[in-house]
Amino acid sequence: MQIEIDNNSGFCFGVVNAIQLAEKELDKNDTLYCLGDIVHNSAEVERLKLKGLITVNHEQFKDLKNCKVLLRAHGEPPETYEIAKQNNIQLIDASCPVVLKLQNNIKLGFDKFLRKGGQVVIYGKEGHAEVNGLVGQTNGKAIVIGGLNDLDKINFSKPVNLFSQTTKSIEGFYEVQKEIKNRMKANQGTEDIDFIINDTICRQVSHRQPQLRNFVKKHDVVIFVSGKKSSNGRMLFQVCQTENPNTYFVSKQSELEQKWFDNASSVGVCGATSTPRWLMEKVALEINKIAKS
């Protein structure tokens, strides 16, 4: 049986940077706090925990004082920086530059649209760490939509400034913006609507979709490795399964089932932007054991 690991899968730049900053600090000190899971992959979180990384939530963060805290790639709302200042917390800011640029654009867009009674709409997963940071730039007033079913949250008689969470699918974003445009035109009875569309999807993430489509077509069976919390993982898994129905989702090698590989001569292993390379390699080794058993 041939087993291939997708060279385009694995950590994106933002995650690589956050992990490198964490490891650099832990080489000097035994302990470092991290606000939220450094990456949506339990295996990688556990690996760093053994090195001394302590994950805290936002409530626990408020009680910390005189220490160092890592901010992960997802970005944080302004409130987090205020708390750090008040509690003498030294921040190691690993916020992804793409996310920081998006936060700034949303803040500018919100301030401008607020003056003319408009709305900032964010296409993303409500409650997701990145989305919380984006909504924070609007004092909590941005409207979050997960898809077409949430469009009733928008007032189509008012101006709309649309943004997207960086890891959402391009297809989904274009579908949403097209429907918003149509509903605004119908509601206002004119083609001359005040609708600004900001395609803020990270291309390093979005380019993986066509790459994955090509990869999964080459194999009889595909094993997609990702943490269950990863929004990007769920989205990319669906891309793989659409192209190859013999695609299976696992978080670790122990979840593999022997029957998946019956009559398979070629197996592809791939993953999300939050999936470490070492974990995909472990899965590939386990598949090789199953093939030989």
Instruction: Give catalytic residue positions.
Output: 130
CB 151 within 8 A of CB 183: yes
User: Can you list the alpha helix ranges (DSSP code H) found in the chain?
Assistant: 13-28, 42-51, 58-63, 78-86, 97-114, 129-136, 170-188, 203-206, 208-217, 231-243, 277-292
Q: Residue 170 corresponds to which tokens in the numbers above?
A: 């391009």
Distance from C-alpha of 110 to C-alpha of 118, rounded to nearest angstrom: 8
Paired tokens of 266:
């070629």
Contact 26, 51 (CB under 8 A): yes
Residue 244: strand, helix, or coil? coil
Pairing of strands 68-71, 90-93: parallel
In terms of Cβ atoms closer than 10 Å to its own Cβ (0-12, 13-18, 19+), residue 202 is buried
Handedness of CA 169, 171, 176, 181 (dihedral sign): positive
- Ramachandran angles phi, psi of 157, nearest 5°: -90, -5
